[in-house]
């Protein structure tokens, strides 16, 4: 039986019910700013599960920018919402200007995205980060139950577009906070592995606090009220809390602290392994409190995973904004490989119930494997887009009058066409694998919240299922079929390591010899092992597809015949290709790598698409091609073979030249000269 004392996020139906009760309580109020404002605001926030004790600051003193005089903000939910009240009948735009006048007095963590003004009878919501012209919404008190979703972000529901600049900025800030925590963990007595596990668990708790996984601010309340300010008991208290979150409710002791009892059972292996008790101090607690004040539901798991992966490296921590792949670049691979096709299918079928159901059944067969997944960004974006498409199908079916696809009472996880078990990854290192597992859980929760927002019901995020998504191992030595059986609906994607043929270690060279066998000629980049593994994985299977990001060296010179001839001979063609472009983070100062993307299938019905670039940093231009060859040119399949002698006897021989490939031993720097 569910313990009623366990914290649960609010469903939209519950929020709407509370909103209706709020309207009944306030519709006859005269609306006096001085007497009723704080009670009105407190009860309004209570509709969304924000208690007076948690997550809201009332009558916060702040300086007005225009006059320099002091004043009071009626209420502030740090990082999310500023509320300013006026008496009934007063113009709301005046209250809004007053609210904006306080902004400069707020810290970075306090800066809200939204400003809500009200005169007890009307509401006006300003979204300060929305595109111009779509930033203000107004509604009446009586309309609140119907439009309760306008403020659903207070309960952790995601309301912004995925991949936005705001999400990127929030993710960079979040990673900086985690990097500061990692630095503060030094001297805690935890090993590098245990510190990583501790940080991943803490990330989950921070995110859950703001995103509707459990009652808003519960973890922050625990930190404030159950840990000493000097941090002396912080480690012991957190280890104890994390153990409780791994216990089913029926196994928890009756004498458990009432606050700790409110944390739900998480499962999914997040809190499974025991941790030693770390020893913390005031600094660690201060860092953790600072992190808990941040609004974690704003982050994008797709790029945050890459950022979080970098927090262990001192060098990477100094430039965290450079350590992620933009979603734009990820979609350059996923879109033309399979997502664009699915979206076109949806657009064609949007007026046909039978066709929409057929598309949803097709989604249930799609599988995505990333055999070089790192922190999981390709898998995260793929899963998110598939869940989003399924939601669009369900919404459209309801609009067409078909109610059969959405269960009447509860939406269980098994009711979804797109399941977490439909994605899989292989990663050689444990740390990024841990991050990938967590980030995928976060995007799954975001997808559930989007479904709740659109349909009024969705699967419960907790307890997490135990499906094994990310497998740790050397992808070139692992049997991919053991991770995900090969079928015609599998889409293999990824961004394997960029290691040139002259820079491979002895172990990496051995990996390539293992994969390529007698076909290995010594001039293949490390990334080509994933191409060979793909064609072997799909041997005897019709309908499979794969696409990888690689450096442009694979489409130049001697490696081209060695790589592309075996692929073409195995009856694969290039379905799409991006000619060389700059694979850059959009963060300032990020290093650029010139890359290509090549996607393969064995189909003949559709023409291949070639994406060309006027310059490496320009936007791609898609053109239909007849045949894309190994040099990523629309032309016949020809190969320029290696020659040691000139074609003409009239031409001199070409020597290797003076290329510095000696590891730097023949280059003498100025400081190395004798004085």
Residue 399: is its pLDDT beyond 90? yes
Question: What is the average pLDDT across 586-593?
Answer: 49
Mean pLDDT of 334-356: 97
Q: Encode pLDDT of 274-322 as tens digits.
A: 999 999 999 999 999 999 988 888 888 888 888 888 888 776 666 656 5
User: What 3-state class would DSSP assign to 609?
Assistant: strand
Selected residue with higher pLDDT from 2 and 36: 36
Burial 354-380 (b: 16+ CB within 10 A, else e): eebbebbeebeebbbbbbbbbbbbbbb
pTM of this structure: 0.83
Whether 640 has a pLDDT exceeding 50, the answer reads yes
| Phi then psi dihedrals of residue 490, to 5 deg | -85, 135
- pLDDT of 585: 47
Mean pLDDT value across residues 479-490: 97
Q: How confident is the model at residue 584 (pLDDT cuts 50, 70, 90)?
A: low
Pairwise pLDDT comparison (254 vs 322), residue with the higher score: 254
| Residue 588 pLDDT | 38
- pLDDT bracket for residue 246 (50, 70, 90): very high
Q: Indicate the pairing of strand 122-127 with strand 114-118.
A: antiparallel
* DSSP string over 218-236: HHHHHHHHHS-TTSTTHHH
Please report, rounded to a whole number, the percentage of residues in the chain having pLDDT higher than 90. Answer: 56
pLDDT in tens, 31-83: 888 888 889 999 999 999 887 655 567 667 777 777 777 788 888 888 889 99
CA angle 331, 335, 339 (to 5 degrees): 125
Per-range mean pLDDT, top range of 81-95, 211-225, 345-359, 520-534: 345-359
pLDDT of residue 53: 58
Decide which of 130 and 155 is more confident: 155
Q: What gap in Å lies between CA 326 and CA 348, rounded to an integer?
A: 29
Is pLDDT at 1 greater than 50 in this prediction?
Answer: no
* Cα 329 from Cα 311, distance rounded (Å): 22
Q: Residues near 229 by Cβ (< 8 Å), separated by ≥ 6?
A: 282, 285
The pair phi, psi for residue 73, each rounded to 5°, is -80, 130
Top mean-pLDDT range of 514-518, 638-642, 650-654, 662-666: 514-518
pLDDT of residue 656: 67
Largest CA distance in the chain: 101
Query: What is the DSSP code (8-state) at residue 339?
Result: I
Q: Are 177 and 55 in contact (CB under 8 A)?
A: no
DSSP 615: S
Task: State the average pLDDT for the chain.
Answer: 88
Quote the pLDDT of residue 590: 46
pLDDT tens for residues 220-242? 999 999 999 999 999 999 999 99
Question: What pLDDT sits at residue 281?
Answer: 93
pLDDT at 587: 39
Q: Over range 328-350, report the average pLDDT.
A: 96
| Both structure tokens of 404 | 């059969």
In the three-class reduction of DSSP (H, G, I as helix; E, B as strand; rest coil), residue 137 is classed as strand
Q: What is the pLDDT of residues 519-559, one digit of tens each?
A: 998 788 899 999 999 999 999 999 999 999 999 999 998 88
User: Which has the higher per-residue pLDDT, 163 or 622?
Assistant: 622
User: Lowest-pLDDT range, 39-43, 70-74, 104-108, 161-165?
Assistant: 161-165
Across 636-640, 652-656, 663-667, least confident range: 663-667
**Range of weakest confidence among 7-21, 37-51, 178-192, 482-496:** 7-21
The pLDDT score that the predictor gives to residue 610 is: 97
**Residue 457 near residue 511 (C-beta atoms within 8 A):** no
pLDDT at 644: 75
Give the pLDDT band (50/70/90) at residue 3.
Answer: low
Q: Which residues of 12-40 are buried (b: 16+ CB within 10 A; e: fewer)?
A: bebbbebbbebbeebeeeebebeebbbeb
């Amino acid at each position: 039986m569910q313990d009623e004392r366990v914290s649960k996020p609010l469903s939209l139906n519950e929020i709407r019910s509370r909103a209706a009760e709020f309207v009944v309580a306030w519709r006859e109020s005269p609306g006096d700013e001085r007497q009723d404002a704080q009670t009105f605001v407190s009860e309004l926030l209570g509709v969304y599960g924000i208690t007076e004790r948690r997550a809201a600051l009332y009558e916060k003193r702040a300086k007005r920018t225009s006059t320099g005089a002091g004043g009071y903000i009626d209420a502030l939910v740090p990082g999310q919402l500023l509320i300013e009240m006026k008496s009934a009948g007063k113009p709301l735009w005046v209250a809004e200007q007053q609210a904006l006048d306080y902004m400069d007095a707020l810290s970075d963590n306090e800066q809200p995205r939204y400003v809500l003004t009200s005169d007890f009878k009307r509401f006006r919501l300003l979204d300060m980060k929305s595109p111009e012209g779509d930033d203000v919404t107004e509604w009446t008190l009586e309309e609140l139950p119907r439009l309760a979703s306008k403020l659903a972000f207070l309960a952790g529901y995601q309301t912004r577009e995925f991949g936005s600049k705001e999400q990127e900025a929030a993710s960079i800030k979040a990673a900086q906070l985690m990097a500061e925590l990692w630095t503060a963990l030094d001297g805690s007595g935890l090993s590098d592995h245990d510190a990583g596990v501790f940080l991943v668990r803490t990330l989950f708790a921070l995110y859950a606090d703001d995103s509707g996984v459990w009652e808003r601010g519960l973890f922050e309340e625990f930190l404030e009220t159950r840990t000493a300010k000097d941090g002396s008991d912080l480690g012991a208290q957190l280890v104890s809390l994390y153990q409780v979150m791994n216990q089913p409710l029926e196994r928890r002791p009756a004498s458990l602290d009432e606050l700790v009892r409110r944390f739900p059972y998480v499962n999914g292996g997040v809190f499974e392994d025991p941790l030693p008790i770390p020893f913390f101090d005031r600094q660690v607690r201060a860092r953790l409190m600072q992190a808990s004040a941040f609004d974690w539901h704003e982050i994008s798991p797709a790029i945050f995973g890459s950022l979080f992966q970098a927090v262990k490296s001192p060098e990477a921590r100094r430039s965290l904004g450079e350590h992620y792949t933009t979603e734009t670049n990820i979609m350059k691979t996923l879109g033309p490989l399979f997502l664009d096709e699915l979206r076109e299918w949806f657009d064609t079928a949007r007026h046909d119930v039978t066709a929409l159901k057929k598309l949803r059944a097709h989604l249930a067969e799609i599988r995505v494997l990333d055999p070089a997944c790192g922190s999981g960004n390709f898998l995260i974006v793929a899963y998110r887009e598939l869940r989003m498409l399924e939601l669009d199908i369900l919404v459209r079916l309801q609009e067409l009058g078909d109610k059969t696809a959405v269960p009447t009472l509860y939406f269980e996880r098994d009711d979804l066409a797109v399941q977490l078990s439909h994605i899989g990854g292989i990663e050689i290192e444990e740390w990024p694998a841990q991050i990938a597992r967590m980030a995928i859980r976060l995007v799954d929760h975001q997808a559930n919240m989007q479904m709740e927002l659109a349909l009024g019901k969705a699967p419960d995020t907790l307890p997490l299922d135990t499906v094994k998504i990310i497998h740790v191992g050397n992808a070139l030595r692992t049997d991919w079929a053991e991770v995900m059986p090969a079928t015609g609906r599998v889409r293999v994607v990824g961004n394997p390591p960029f290691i040139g043929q002259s820079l491979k270690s002895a172990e990496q060279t051995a990996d390539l010899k293992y994969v390529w066998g007698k076909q290995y000629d010594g001039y293949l980049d490390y990334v080509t092992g994933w191409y060979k593994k793909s064609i072997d994985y799909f041997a005897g299977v019709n309908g499979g597809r794969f696409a990888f990001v690689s450096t442009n060296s694979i489409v130049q010179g001697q490696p081209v015949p060695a790589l592309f001839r075996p692929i073409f001979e195995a009856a694969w063609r290039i379905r799409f290709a991006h000619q060389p472009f700059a694979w850059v983070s959009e963060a300032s100062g990020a290093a650029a790598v010139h890359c290509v993307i090549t996607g393969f299938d064995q189909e003949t019905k559709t023409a291949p698409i070639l994406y060309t670039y006027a310059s490496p940093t320009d936007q791609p231009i898609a053109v239909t091609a007849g045949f894309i060859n190994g040099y990523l040119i629309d032309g016949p399949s020809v190969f320029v073979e290696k020659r040691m002698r000139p074609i003409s006897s009239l031409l001199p021989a070409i020597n290797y030249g003076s290329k510095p490939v000696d590891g730097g031993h023949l280059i003498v720097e100025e400081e190395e000269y004798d004085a």
